[in-house]
Amino acid sequence: MNSIGENCNDLKSRYDACFNAWFSEKFLKGHTDDSVCKPLFLSYQKCVQEALTLHKIDVIDLKTNHINGTEFDKPTKSNEDNSSKKEAES
């Protein structure tokens, strides 16, 4: 699958290949050390972050995590209030 940044496709496919191998051969077998693909991930990220800026994607909105350790937030009134607050702050 293509990356949002055309020039990131090569970096992405190298990282994806590394991740898929790590995921099946290590993670699913109980090994949680994920450092093996880190260098590839970092160079891929550098490229993607530039592409996000280029595409004017709201990076603040991207950073909001809806996962809280183990559970996901359910969309409630208070969440909406939080997100509108964040928008106001930015």
Partner 1 sequence: MAKYYENSTVFHYNMEQIFQGFWQRYPNPYSSHVLSEDTLERQVTREGKLYSKRLITKTNKLPKWGERFFKAKSVCIVEESLIDLKSKTLTTYTRNIGFNKIMNVIEKVVYRSDGPKTIAYRSAWIDSQVFGFASAIKAFGCERFKKNCQKSALGFNYILGMLFPIQNQYANIVQHDVAQKFKEAAKQMSEHVKEQIYEASHYNMNQN
Q: Which residues bind partner 1 (CB under 8 A)?
A: 1-4, 8, 12, 15-16, 19-20, 23-24, 27-28, 30, 32-34, 41, 44-45, 48, 52, 57-58, 61-62, 65-67, 69-70, 72-75, 83
For the bound state, the minimum distance from the C-beta of residue 10 to partner 1, rounded and expressed in Å, comes to 13
| 3-state DSSP helix/strand/coil % of the chain, to nearest 5 | 70, 5, 30
- Identify whether the C-beta of residue 11 lies closer than 8 Å to the C-beta of residue 41: no
For the bound state, the minimum distance from the C-beta of residue 55 to partner 1, rounded and expressed in Å, comes to 8
Residues 6+ away with beta carbon under 8 Å from 7: 47, 51
- Please identify, using beta-carbon distances, which residue of 1 and 88 lies nearer to partner 1: 1
